Structure 1
């Protein structure tokens, strides 16, 4: 039996993401919904996204191969995005600047792989135990019942997403061991761990609608009938959080990441053409814990289901 923080709401969720903007794209609606419902939402971001591609021409000088000053800008964008969602507890793993964005390149098969050149303090090169210990401290402080991160492939192969998965998975295990690093706080066992996901059937349907409308540029190169590396087969899904009522907050949080996401980019195009279901219903795979009560579609409608 573990105690819970007396100053925090009874239900608490911790999300572990690789870079600023990942959280808004994947879980922004869920985060806004849970904040509105009085649940405590904690976001841990593992890097500042220093290697990100800059979409604002007047800020291109901040790029890693020029002034290398994008990190502080993305830190401010993240703060603005969290304000849109109402999230007040957001942190960088180990503190801002501890781990740097590792960068990536595209493999011919359409997924990400590590870049040819990686900085010494890149997250991809982080010592796993050291990085996990930073997260253990957060887990034991906040004592969440639910943790959300990526699957073992990081969604599409980005090395920082894969490392975030590894760190989160290891930290959950270590945090539950009473004799491990007592200096990091009292042991806590996270009841449920989810991997963020995209529904394959919904993704295919959305792309079909876009192509039928003559849009060939949104998610260019993706065939609605072809491989869906970024999506999960529907039979692997465990939960669908319907937060369509919070789609505007999600879109506002995405707009806050202005160096990375444009309003005429693929995410906004998909939402505008397909409707709020495209990004207002967020899907998850259950990686740890017991499936709770499910809705009509056979999926949990709440990540706290059964707790």
Structure 2
């Protein structure tokens, strides 16, 4: 959802840091080649493999000749484990993010924030986009850590939640032509989105769209990019459009500009 803004701001020379809370150990795997890496009944090696995918994705969003940002993992790679979905045995794992103490998670994120002093932070919305418990936990921890850091250090200046604008989603779905075998269009309301009036920032990433698509394709164990390169799907094979505009809702208490922002650094440059 944020591959475009990462690519755009790297191209502008912005110092970008991507912090990931788990390795995604409990995820599903698309296809047969790496299917036995899964945690449930497999080798439980998926998390390590996905470090490579994330590294490749960050290289894909980086302009030619520049050094890509390295993946950063909260507390170090493997400190907290993917919880899986709510109610599953993986959520009871002693290292699951779901089981971690709020204080430990907030302290670890505070360390990242205080060392980096970011002007802008982007995180999940309250729903964790589609309700994944770990995504929701990231939101909760981010809210707490960002508030503490801003109060004590003055950073970050601006905070955004990454979301999908409903009209953009609808237009993207309407433009989809022939789908790959086995794919389907979503049912009305099946994909999460926000009404247009809720959106506070719309960032054009069309100039770096190829980088965004390449980054999606790098996450091959969990994403399929259609041959058109204008749609992608997760393991459920529900088609989603690749948007040349990314949308956000600003949540900090700082001064606002009139209208919808076109730049996450608006007012800071």
Q: What TM-score range do you get, normalising by the shorter chain?
A: 0.7 to 0.9
Q: 1:127: how far off?
A: 0.8
1:305 paired to 2:266: yes
Q: Which residue of 2 aligns with 1:131?
A: 105
Q: Which residue of 2 aligns with 1:154?
A: 128
Q: Residues 58 and 39 from structure 1, CA distance in 2 versus in 1: closer, same or farther, beyond 3 angstroms?
A: same
* Bigger mean CA offset, 187-196 vs 285-294: 285-294
Q: Which residue of 1 aligns with 2:172?
A: 206
1:63 paired to 2:44: no
**What secondary structure does 2:108 align onto?**
helix
Q: Residues 132 and 266 from structure 1, CA distance in 2 versus in 1: closer, same or farther, beyond 3 angstroms?
A: farther
Q: 1:302: how far off?
A: 0.4
Q: 1:160: how far off?
A: 0.8
Q: 1:57: how far off?
A: 0.8
Q: Is the 8 A contact 1:154 1:165 kept in 2?
A: yes
Q: Residues 266 and 289 from structure 1, CA distance in 2 versus in 1: closer, same or farther, beyond 3 angstroms?
A: farther
Aligned length: 253
**What secondary structure does 2:43 align onto?**
coil
| Segments ≥4 residues shifted beyond 6 Å | 216-219
Q: 1:62: how far off?
A: 0.5
Partner Cα separation in structure 2 for residue 263 and residue 214 of structure 1: 14
1:260 paired to 2:222: yes
**What secondary structure does 1:176 align onto?**
helix
Q: Residues 265 and 163 from structure 1, CA distance in 2 versus in 1: closer, same or farther, beyond 3 angstroms?
A: farther
Unaligned ranges ≥5, structure 1 = 1-25, 105-113, 179-186, 272-276
Partner Cα separation in structure 1 for residue 17 and residue 84 of structure 2: 25
**What secondary structure does 2:156 align onto?**
coil
Partner Cα separation in structure 2 for residue 203 and residue 51 of structure 1: 28
Partner Cα separation in structure 2 for residue 198 and residue 242 of structure 1: 13
Unaligned ranges ≥5, structure 2 = 63-67, 234-240
Mapping of residues 54-93 of structure 1, within 5 Å: 54-65=29-40, 66-86=42-62, 87-93=68-74
For residue 244 of structure 1, the aligned residue among 188, 199, 206 is: 206
Q: 1:157: how far off?
A: 0.6
Partner Cα separation in structure 2 for residue 156 and residue 248 of structure 1: 25
The two structures have a TM-score, normalised by structure 1, of 0.76
CA deviation map 1:252-288 (0-9, x unaligned): 11111111112339985369xxxxx942210000111
Q: 1:227: how far off?
A: 2.4
Q: 1:191: how far off?
A: 1.3
Partner Cα separation in structure 1 for residue 196 and residue 249 of structure 2: 10
Q: Which residue of 2 aligns with 1:98?
A: 79
For residue 192 of structure 1, the aligned residue among 158, 163, 174 is: 158
Q: 1:177: how far off?
A: 4.2
Q: Is the 8 A contact 1:146 1:191 kept in 2?
A: yes
1:170 paired to 2:170: no
Q: Is the 8 A contact 1:218 1:270 kept in 2?
A: no
Q: Is the 8 A contact 1:124 1:160 kept in 2?
A: yes
Q: 1:55: how far off?
A: 1.1
Q: Which residue of 1 aligns with 2:10?
A: 35
Partner Cα separation in structure 2 for residue 36 and residue 148 of structure 1: 18
Partner Cα separation in structure 2 for residue 55 and residue 268 of structure 1: 19
Q: Which residue of 1 aligns with 2:236?
A: none
Q: Residues 115 and 304 from structure 1, CA distance in 2 versus in 1: closer, same or farther, beyond 3 angstroms?
A: same
* Bigger mean CA offset, 282-291 vs 154-163: 282-291
Q: Residues 34 and 214 from structure 1, CA distance in 2 versus in 1: closer, same or farther, beyond 3 angstroms?
A: closer
